[in-house]
Amino acid sequence: MSELSKDDVKKIARLARLKMEDDELERRAESINGILQWMEQLNEVDTDNVEPLRNVADIELALREDVMNDGGYPDKVLSNAPEETQGFYVVPKVVE
């Protein structure tokens, strides 16, 4: 697989919502490329007829009645909010 460029890393940082300056992007490109290269060893293994494994828990997902069974305590929910008012979270303006 091809190497990631600084611009590729910039795109990933943007997708991951991580602010990064140019020097950090360069440093990270090098480090991530090293790791991706190391992962190439997985291609030694023939996996053509193998079903991907999503969860090891051999458990059937349980169903429950579709009723409200929790909630009704907005103060607790908001107790760690960086900013809140009148029972709502406050965020920077998103609509002009």
Partner 1 sequence: MSDLTHLTIKNALEGLDKKEFSAVELTQAHINAMESTRELNAYITETPELALKQAAESDKRRAGGEAGLLEGIPLAVKDMFCTKDARTTAASHILENYQSPYESTVTEKLWQDGAVMIGKTNLDEFAMGASNMTSYFGNVINPWRSNAHDKDLVPGGSSGGSAACVSARSAMGALGTDTNGSIRQPASYTGTVGIKPTYGRCSRWGIVAFASSLDQAGVFARTVEDCALMLQSCSGHDPKDSTSANIEVPDWSNSFNNGVKGMKIGIPKEFRVDGMPDEIEKLWQQGADWLKDAGAEIVDVSMPHAKYAIPAYYIVAPAEASSNLARYDGVRYGLRVEGENLIDMYEKTRAEGFGDEVKRRIMIGTYVLSAGYYDAYYIKAQKIRRLIVEDFKKVFEECDALLTPTSPGVAFPIGERMDDPIKMYLEDIFTSPASLAGMPAMSVPGGLNGEGLPLGLQIMAKPWDEESVFRVGQEIEKAANFTALPNLLTKAAA
Cα separation, 23 vs 6, whole angstroms: 10
Alpha helices in the chain (DSSP H): 6-15, 22-39, 74-77
Return the residues of window 31-90 that contact partner 1 according to CB under 8 A: 31-32, 34-36, 38-39, 41-43, 45, 47, 50-59, 61-62, 64, 76-77, 79-83, 89
Contact 9, 33 (CB under 8 A): no
Residue 5 lies near partner 1 (rule: CB under 8 A): no
Return the residues of window 19-38 that contact partner 1 according to CB under 8 A: 19-20, 28, 31-32, 34-36, 38
For the residues of 60-74, what is the DSSP string, one character each?
A: PPP---SS--S---H
Cα separation, 44 vs 37, whole angstroms: 13
Residue 93 lies near partner 1 (rule: CB under 8 A): yes
The residues that touch partner 1, with contacts defined as CB under 8 A, are 1, 4, 9, 12-13, 15-20, 28, 31-32, 34-36, 38-39, 41-43, 45, 47, 50-59, 61-62, 64, 76-77, 79-83, 89, 91-94
